[in-house]
Amino acid sequence: MIATQDTQTRQRTADELYALFEEFSSKNPFPKEPAGLYHAVRHIMSIPGKRLRPILCMAAAEMFGADARKAVEAAAAVELYHNSTLVHDDIMDAASLRRGIPTVHEVYGTNAAINAGDVMIIKTYELLARLACPVSVKAIQIFSKAAVEIIEGQTMDLDFETRTDVTEAEYLKMIEYKTSVLLAASLQMGASIAHANERDAEAVYAFGKNLGISFQIKDDLLDAFGDGTKTGKKVGGDIVQNKRTLLYLRALSKADPSQRDELKRLETVAGEQEKIEGTLAIFNSLDIKNEVEKTASEYYENAIEHLQKIEIAEERKQVLYNLAERIFTREF
């Protein structure tokens, strides 16, 4: 049940939460000096994004009865940390574009990008420390667990590029850690700020975890089959980097010996176009896209089931239902 004394009569919509987050960000600018550091930070933070994690954090707080303004520091913290991981991931992946805009290391150099990501992580904890105690302690505990798992997931992802024996279970654990735990932690922090009971906090975390896995599987699908003008990324980037996505693992398990040999040969091909077109041709011949879309749907449905278990009025969950549907049906 809602365990707070400041229950609102009306919850903000996702768009209103987005506006609240942007207003907070505009009133809390990054320092100007040293310019080489904070120009790089502002570069990644100014790239247009969905602000999904901060919106989920504030929406969860309001669902459980708190005003979203009490969760805005935590919301800003998770968005800052998320973007710090993007800066570092882009370096590791040698990515030149992020949402259609040059990546930080492409513009400012690798050393500046590393420093920018590092300072963003530290400022994440500064924001969480601004929450009232004991909420700040709980939020830091939730966030720290997720942050460690994200780094573990990124390490697994990099390791998978050189392994030929990656299993589907390993892939799902990797994306749970690399992607979904921060969505789940964002929701759990919002619940904690609103003093939700432990059972409901666990349910909203499970909602976020399943939604996050579905989100990442959808990302893999968009990377292979999406519209690059909408995603802001080159189609087939995962294929070029030999990423062990669910698409690839399913294809490998369904392929006949000749197709399996061809998939392995394509991994060594230097020409990107040949590599992408050849791999996609095998995916299409095996109907991999439809199979993987079904798996994404299963995780989405599991997420909704966990949201339904939360013991509050259904109308208070509507913002999260709407957000989940928007995430699941997105094209970018």
pLDDT digits (tens, 9 = 90+) for 207-222: 999 999 999 999 999 9
Q: How far is CA 162 from CA 38, 87, 249, 257, 285, in A?
A: 35, 22, 14, 21, 25
pLDDT score of 164: 86
Contacts of residue 263, Cβ cutoff 8 Å, sequence gap at least 6 = 248, 251, 252, 255, 279, 282
Question: Is residue 191, in this structure, part of any structural domain at all?
Answer: yes
234-285 pLDDT per residue, tens = 789 899 989 999 999 999 999 999 999 999 999 999 999 999 999 999 999 9
- Using 50, 70 and 90 to split pLDDT, how confident is the model at 84? very high
Residue 136's identity, in one-letter code, is S
Q: How far is CA 264 from CA 234, 236, 239, in A?
A: 22, 16, 12
Per the CB < 8 A criterion, the answer to whether 188 and 204 are in contact is yes
Is residue 2 over pLDDT 50? no
Which CATH number characterizes residue 96's domain? Answer: 1.10.600.10
Is residue 331 over pLDDT 50? yes
What percentage of the chain reaches a pLDDT higher than 90? 86
Among 110, 90, 112, 111, which residue's Cα sits nearest to residue 101?
90
Question: Is residue 69, in this structure, part of any structural domain at all?
Answer: yes
Q: Give the domain range for residue 187.
A: 14-329
- Using 50, 70 and 90 to split pLDDT, how confident is the model at 49? confident
Question: Is residue 1, in this structure, part of any structural domain at all?
Answer: no
> How many separate domains does the chain show?
1
- Using 50, 70 and 90 to split pLDDT, how confident is the model at 3? very low
Q: Mean pLDDT throughout 90-119?
A: 94
Cis before residue 54, ω within 30 degrees of 0? no
Question: Is residue 34, in this structure, part of any structural domain at all?
Answer: yes
Question: Is residue 4, in this structure, part of any structural domain at all?
Answer: no
Per the CB < 8 A criterion, the answer to whether 40 and 108 are in contact is yes
Question: Is residue 3, in this structure, part of any structural domain at all?
Answer: no
Q: Cα(61)–Cα(66) distance, rounded to whole angstroms?
A: 5
| CA dihedral over 194, 197, 198, 204, signed as positive or negative | negative
Cis before residue 134, ω within 30 degrees of 0? yes
121-146 pLDDT per residue, tens = 999 999 999 998 899 999 999 999 99
Is residue 1 over pLDDT 50? no
Q: How far is CA 323 from CA 22, 92, 317, in A?
A: 18, 30, 10
Question: Is residue 7, in this structure, part of any structural domain at all?
Answer: no
Question: Is residue 5, in this structure, part of any structural domain at all?
Answer: no
Per the CB < 8 A criterion, the answer to whether 281 and 225 are in contact is no
Is residue 9 over pLDDT 80? no
- Using 50, 70 and 90 to split pLDDT, how confident is the model at 231? low
